[in-house]
Chains A and B, each alone.
Chain A
Amino acid sequence: MPILSRSEAEDLLYREARLLDDRRFQEWLAMLDENATYWIPCNGEGNDPNREISLVFDDRQRLTDRIGRLESGLAHAQNPPSKTKRLVSNVQIENSTENAATVLSGFILYELRRGKERIFAGRYEHCLHLISGTWKIASKKIVLTNNDEVIDNLTFIV
C-alpha cells in the first residue's frame, strides 16, 4: 500500500475545499469515515475538550445534525448562506504509515454574507485513514487564528 504523498493530500484538501465552498454537504460527509470528528477549539490550540468548551466539538452524530440544520432552510444565521472561498496551502504530512496519515495545512477563508466580507485564517489538521483503497477523513481539527476573539457568526462549515 502506498504511503500518502503530498500531492494526494493536496488533491483531497482541494476537493474538500471545493465541496464546502459549493455547500455540497452530503458529498463532503461522504469524505469522512463513520466515526469522524470535527473540532474547532475556542482557545488557542485547544486544551482538553472535556474540561473546556469549544466552538465546535462534533462527533459524527452532531455533525450530521449540524448539516441537517444547514439543509433545513430554517438556519436563519445561514439564510442567506455565507459565500466562501478557501485557499489551502502549506501542506505538510506529519506522520504517515501505510494506512494512516496526519496532514497539516494552512488556510485563508474569505467569507461574504449580507454585504460584509470577512477573512479567517488558520491551520487544518486532518487525520486520514485508508479504507478500501480510499483515503477518508477520520478527524478534522481547525485552529482558527482568531478563535479566542469575538466571532460574529461561524455557522458555515469551516
Chain B
Amino acid sequence: MPSNLNLEELVQETRVHRKIYLEQQIFDSEMERIFESNWVFVGHQTEISAPGDYKTLTIGTQPAFMTRDENGDIHVLMNRCMHRGSTVCQQERGNSPTFRCWYHGWTYNSKGELIGVPYADGYGNSFDRRKFSLIKAARVEEYRGLVFASLNPDVDGLADYLGNAKRYIDLFVELSPEGELEARAGTHKYGYDGNWKFQMENGVDGYHPNFVHRAFFDLQGKDLGRKVSQLFTENSACESKDLGNGHSILDMARTLRPGNKPVPTLLRGKASQESSDAYLGSMIRRYGEQRAGEIFAASNVNLAIFPNLLIIGIQLRKTIPVSATRTDVHLLPTTLKGVPDEINVARLRAHEAFYGSAGGGAPDDVEMFNRCSDGLRVKGAEWLELSRGIEREHSEGNGVIVGHITDETPQRAFYRRWRSLMCDTAKPQTVTQLRVVPTH
C-alpha cells in the first residue's frame, strides 16, 4: 500500500520518496518556494557585456531576460508586457536599447521602464507610466562574473548565500591569469523527460562515473597509457563535501608535495609546449607558485550551487525545470582571459568530447535519468536510498561535512536544503513585487 505521507516525510535524512520526482503539485511548490524565493543562477556577465545586450532566461518556469543598461548595470526583467501580457523580448540574445511589444506598441528600456505608449491621450491624466514598469527581479548580484537573481527581496547577500562555495568558484575563475572568464563560446542544450533533481543529484555524484562513463574512461586511458577512472574508485583519496546551504562539491584537488612545480595536469586537451609554458608562466607571475599549484590541482571540478547551477569541467550548467517530468539543461562553456588561443581551443575540444547532446559522456547520464523516470513508475518501491557514506562522513567545521568521493554526502546536502525551504511552516516568500521606478 503506498504511504500517505506529508511533504516533510517525503524527504528524510537517508532516503527520499519517489513522489518528489513525479508529482506536478510538488513541482509547482518547488517553483514557488525554491526558484521564486531564493537566489538562482541566471548567466554569466559576459553574455551581456555591452550596454544594450540582452539574453533570455527562465526563473522557475517564468520567461525573463537579463539586460545591461547604458550605465553598465545588469537587470533581470520578466518577459511580459504590462499592458495585456505578450512577451516583449522575442530573440534569445541580441542588442537593443529598447524592447517594443508589437501588440500595441508599448516600449520599455533596458531597465524595464515604460518609455513609450502609443496614442497616450487615451489614458488620461491619472495614468502613471511608472506603475507599468516590467516586473523585475528584486535582487541581482554577481560573484566573479556569475550573475544570480532573486525575485524575493528578503534574501541574504549573494556572498553570504554562496558561503563555503565561494573559494571553489575562486579556484575555477583563477584558472585565468587575469582572474576572468568569458562565456561567449556558445551553448550546448540538452534535455530529458524527467525531473530536474536528477540532474542536480548527478552533477555531484562520484559513485556513478566508473559505470556510466566506463567507455569514455577506457578510451581516455588508452590515450594516456594509464587508467583514469581511479578518481572514482573506492580507494580514491578524493572527497565529496556538503558546503552548507544546499551547495556541495566533488573535491578532486590533490595535495602537492612541496618543491613540485604546479603543472596544468588537466589542461583539458592538447596544446603545444610553447602555449603551455606561456600559460604556466603567466599563472606563476600572477598568483605565485603555491597558489598557481592550488588552482591547477583544483581544475577538475564538480561544484553544485543550490538550486540550479553546476560548475563542471569548464562549463556553467543551468538546470531548467519545465515540469515535474521534463527538464532542459544549458551548458555554458567558458574560456580564459589572458591565455594563448590554443589553451582555449583545447578547453573547447575537451568539453565537446564529453558534453553536449553528442558528447561521449553526458548523454549516458541523461540515459540514466530516462531509465529512472521509467523505473520510478513502480509504486511498490517507494524510496530512493541516499545512505551511502552516512556512517563515515565527518564534520570539517564551519558547516562543512566531508565524505568519500563516492558517498552521497552531496545529495544529502541538497535534500537538507530542499526540505528546509519546502517544509517551512511560514508562508512562502513573496513571489514578485511590482517595481515602481521613479522618474527624475
Q: Do A and B bind each other?
A: yes
B352 cross-chain contacts in A, Cβ below 8 A? 53-57
A114 cross-chain contacts in B, Cβ below 8 A? 370
B228 cross-chain contacts in A, Cβ below 8 A? none
The 5 A-B pairs of least Cβ separation, nearest first, read A77-B363, A74-B215, A52-B186, A154-B357, A151-B357
Q: Does A134 sit within 8 A of B, measured CB to CB?
A: no
Q: Does B50 sit within 8 A of A, measured CB to CB?
A: no
Least Cβ distance of B238 to chain A in Å? 23
A42/B364 in contact, CB under 8 A: no
B231 cross-chain contacts in A, Cβ below 8 A? none
Interface of A (DSSP majority class): loop
A69 to B362, CA, bound (A): 13
- Which residue in A69, A149, A151 is a CB contact (below 8 Å) of B215? A69
Least Cβ distance of B90 to chain A in Å? 15
Q: Interface digits, A11-52 against B, CB 8 Å rule (1 contact, 0 not)?
A: 000000000000000000000000000001011000001111
B345/A151 in contact, CB under 8 A: no
Q: Does B187 sit within 8 A of A, measured CB to CB?
A: yes
B187/A68 in contact, CB under 8 A: no
Interfacial residues of chain A within 66-109, with CB under 8 A of chain B in the complex: 66, 68-69, 72, 74-77, 79
A152/B191 in contact, CB under 8 A: yes
Interfacial residues of chain B within 332-349, with CB under 8 A of chain A in the complex: 333, 341, 345, 348-349
Least Cβ distance of A114 to chain B in Å? 7
Q: Does B285 sit within 8 A of A, measured CB to CB?
A: no
A72/B348 in contact, CB under 8 A: no
Q: Does A6 sit within 8 A of B, measured CB to CB?
A: no
- Which residue in A55, A69, A79 is a CB contact (below 8 Å) of B356? A55
Q: Interface digits, B351-379 against A, CB 8 Å rule (1 contact, 0 not)?
A: 11100111010011011101000000000
A153 to B185, CA, bound (A): 21
Q: Does A150 sit within 8 A of B, measured CB to CB?
A: yes
Residue of A nearest to B216 (CB): A69
A68 cross-chain contacts in B, Cβ below 8 A? 219
With contacts A52-B186, A53-B188 known, is A152 near B364, CB below 8 A?
no
**8 more A-B residue pairs beyond the given contacts A42-B188, A55-B358, A69-B216, with a C-beta to C-beta distance below 8 A:** A43-B186, A50-B345, A53-B185, A54-B186, A55-B352, A148-B189, A151-B189, A152-B190
A72 cross-chain contacts in B, Cβ below 8 A? 215, 218
A148 to B358, CA, bound (A): 13
Q: Does A117 sit within 8 A of B, measured CB to CB?
A: no
Least Cβ distance of B350 to chain A in Å? 10
Least Cβ distance of A62 to chain B in Å? 7
A76/B368 in contact, CB under 8 A: yes
B190 cross-chain contacts in A, Cβ below 8 A? 150-153
Q: Interface digits, A110-132 against B, CB 8 Å rule (1 contact, 0 not)?
A: 00001000000000000000000
A153 cross-chain contacts in B, Cβ below 8 A? 190, 357, 363, 366-367
| Chain B: interface residue total (CB-CB under 8 A) | 36
Interfacial residues of chain B within 179-212, with CB under 8 A of chain A in the complex: 184-193, 212
A48 to B219, CA, bound (A): 27
A148 cross-chain contacts in B, Cβ below 8 A? 92, 187, 189
B345/A55 in contact, CB under 8 A: no
B residues with a Cβ closer than 8 A to A are: 92, 184-193, 212, 214-216, 218-219, 328, 333, 341, 345, 348-349, 351-353, 356-358, 360, 363-364, 366-368, 370
Least Cβ distance of A156 to chain B in Å? 9
B187/A42 in contact, CB under 8 A: yes
B192 cross-chain contacts in A, Cβ below 8 A? 152
A68 to B177, CA, bound (A): 37
Least Cβ distance of A152 to chain B in Å? 5
Q: Among the interface residues B192, B218, B367, which one has the most CB atoms of the partner chain A within 10 A?
A: B367
Residue of A nearest to B331 (CB): A53
Least Cβ distance of B58 to chain A in Å? 12
- Which residue in B188, B216, B328 is a CB contact (below 8 Å) of A55? B188
22 contacts between A and B (CB under 8 A): A42-B187, A42-B356, A50-B341, A50-B345, A51-B185, A52-B184, A54-B352, A55-B357, A55-B358, A57-B349, A57-B352, A72-B218, A74-B214, A77-B367, A151-B189, A151-B191, A151-B357, A152-B366, A153-B357, A154-B357, A154-B363, A155-B363
Residue of A nearest to B214 (CB): A74
A52 to B187, CA, bound (A): 9
A40 to B192, CA, bound (A): 21
A151 cross-chain contacts in B, Cβ below 8 A? 189-191, 357
Q: Does A8 sit within 8 A of B, measured CB to CB?
A: no
A43 to B192, CA, bound (A): 20
Residue of A nearest to B330 (CB): A150
Least Cβ distance of A146 to chain B in Å? 10
- Which residue in B92, B189, B348, B353 is a CB contact (below 8 Å) of A50? B348
Least Cβ distance of A17 to chain B in Å? 18
- Which residue in B216, B358, B364 is a CB contact (below 8 Å) of A56? B358
A52/B185 in contact, CB under 8 A: yes
A152 cross-chain contacts in B, Cβ below 8 A? 190-193, 357, 366
A51 cross-chain contacts in B, Cβ below 8 A? 184-185
A52/B364 in contact, CB under 8 A: no
